[in-house]
A = this chain, B = another copy of it.
Amino acid sequence: MLHRNYSNFYKNFTSESVIDLFCQIASLPLGYNSETLIKAASSPEMIQMLVNRPALGVQPHSTWAKTLEDSFMSVAPKGLSQVFTAMCGSCSNETAYKRHKRGLQAAISDEDLSSCMKNAAPGSPDLAIMSFNGGFHGRLFGSLSTTHTKALHKVDIPAFSNWVSSPFPSLKYPLDQHEAENAKEEARCLAAAEEKMKHAKTPIAALIVEPIQSEGGDNHASPKFFQGLRDLTKKYDILMIVDEVQTGVGATGHFWAHEAWNLTTPPDIVTFSKKFQAAGWFHRPDVRPDAPYRNFNTWMGDPIRALQAKTILQEIRSKELIKNCRDTGDYLKTELTQLEKKYPGTISSVRGRGTFMAFDLPSPQDRDTFVAKLRAHGVNTGGCGPQSVRLRPMLVFQKKHADIFLDAVEKVVRGQ
């Protein structure tokens, strides 16, 4: 249905034909045909920025500073008072990787300047970005070197071979029934990360981590784990980058998923894209480059997407959509957990925060069949990891929509 009569897809997401819980790979904040976004799309401001696209790094329009304040800066994570705008999630992560500690601490020598022109050390230094097994941070050469989900994304592409990765906790669900063993697993992963930091042949400049590993299989970890990571990055003088490309902008029940960690020191950098339509990263003031053009490109983001982000934020606030995600998420989790108990051997490990949820099927093939059958029932979801189904509905997804989805799930687990 989704593919045969695709035009319906856009008309009404609660139509009989399709209900979408994957939302263009987790990137639609307000669903299809949002009236507020349609109104903003025809505003004179939007048309001017669409037609007269500026090179924001050198000739921003006079309204740009105000647009930044009204959009990204109004939801800047605690402690991060600066923003760098980009075009997509991969670019956000890669430009963030360019702001590593060494660039901030050491004076630039003539040898640095001449050697970097030959792609040689010390100007092109032997520095690594550390990441986690199962992490996904994009598909360009730098970001792909930190991505560890599917081999098919990586094979044949040259990578930074010295960019280490470390195990991410593999928790058991439900979390409240496996506290002791999950704590042990997180301690094991923290120890492994510290080993990498301590003994890496190549100095580690920055660490990147997702609050919930999404493409990797919706793998969670506790606030305590992330606080432990933050402590390690402080101890070993490593920048901490939190990749909120998929988790950011409300679906987890917090605007930024890392707010749930209550860190004693904020991360150094938080990257975003997807549901904000716009992309970029927030950072601490001391991460700012010390000279112009050190982190630069022609467009430096897109003002029309920043204008959309501003509209999305207005809608999130006026309709209390973060609360909606928490409420709908609680309902979804309760109901899915009941289905898990009612139909053992079908879905399992129901997990998530807000509506940012997932569950497992017994095998990869069962998962693929499950997703295909759901689609035949008019429900679009996505796979992640080896055998998980992930739910990434729009922020306006409510109990009444959840009921349509739950009804389809029950039909599928009953073999219909």
Question: Which residues of A come within 8 Å of B, CB atoms?
Answer: 2, 6-7, 9-10, 24-25, 27-28, 32-34, 37-38, 41-42, 46-48, 50-55, 58-59, 61-62, 87-91, 94-95, 97-98, 100, 102-103, 108, 112-114, 116-121, 123-128, 138-143, 145, 148, 150-163, 165, 273-274, 277, 291, 293-299, 304, 308
A325 to chain B, nearest CB (A): 20
A112 near B155 (CB under 8 angstroms)?
yes
A88 to chain B, nearest CB (A): 5
A160 near B158 (CB under 8 angstroms)?
yes
Q: Contact check: which of B6, B118, B140 meets A62 at CB < 8 Å?
A: B6
A62 to B3, CA, bound (A): 9
Q: Which residues of B contact A156 (CB under 8 A)?
A: 98, 100, 102-103, 108, 112, 116, 123, 125, 294
Residue of B nearest to A121 (CB): B161
With A124-B158, A155-B116, A160-B119 known to touch, is A139 a contact of B296 (CB < 8 Å)? yes
A143 to B55, CA, bound (A): 19
For the complex with contacts A33-B48, A152-B291, 16 further pairs of A-B residues with Cβ separation under 8 Å are A6-B59, A33-B51, A38-B51, A42-B47, A50-B308, A87-B87, A88-B91, A98-B157, A100-B156, A108-B156, A113-B155, A121-B161, A127-B158, A139-B296, A152-B293, A274-B298
A271 to chain B, nearest CB (A): 14
With A94-B141, A116-B151, A152-B294 known to touch, is A52 a contact of B27 (CB < 8 Å)? no
The 4 lowest CB-CB distance pairs between A and B, nearest first, are: A141-B142, A124-B159, A103-B156, A113-B151
Q: Contact check: which of B10, B140, B298 meets A27 at CB < 8 Å?
A: B298
B53 near A28 (CB under 8 angstroms)?
yes
Q: Which residues of B contact A38 (CB under 8 A)?
A: 47, 51
A321 to B374, CA, bound (A): 52
A396 to chain B, nearest CB (A): 14
17 contacts between A and B (CB under 8 A): A6-B59, A6-B62, A9-B59, A10-B52, A24-B54, A25-B58, A42-B47, A87-B87, A89-B298, A97-B141, A102-B156, A108-B156, A113-B151, A116-B154, A119-B145, A119-B165, A123-B155
A123 to B6, CA, bound (A): 38
B90 near A88 (CB under 8 angstroms)?
no
Q: Contact check: which of B53, B62, B100 meets A277 at CB < 8 Å?
A: B53
A27 near B151 (CB under 8 angstroms)?
no
Q: Which residues of B contact A10 (CB under 8 A)?
A: 48, 52, 61
B142 near A140 (CB under 8 angstroms)?
yes
With A53-B24, A155-B123 known to touch, is A148 a contact of B47 (CB < 8 Å)? no
With A117-B154, A150-B293, A154-B124 known to touch, is A59 a contact of B142 (CB < 8 Å)? no
A220 to chain B, nearest CB (A): 22
B34 near A41 (CB under 8 angstroms)?
no
Q: Which residues of B contact A117 (CB under 8 A)?
A: 148, 151, 154
A42 to B39, CA, bound (A): 11
Q: Which residues of B contact A61 (CB under 8 A)?
A: 6-7, 10
A350 to B126, CA, bound (A): 42
A27 near B48 (CB under 8 angstroms)?
no
A274 to B48, CA, bound (A): 18
A1 to B294, CA, bound (A): 26
Q: Which residues of B contact A59 (CB under 8 A)?
A: 2, 6, 9, 24
B139 near A141 (CB under 8 angstroms)?
no
Q: Which residues of B contact A52 (CB under 8 A)?
A: 10, 28, 32-33
A27 near B41 (CB under 8 angstroms)?
no
Q: Which residues of B contact A55 (CB under 8 A)?
A: 24-25, 27
A151 near B114 (CB under 8 angstroms)?
yes
A52 to chain B, nearest CB (A): 5
A308 to B48, CA, bound (A): 13
Q: Which residues of B contact A94 (CB under 8 A)?
A: 140-141
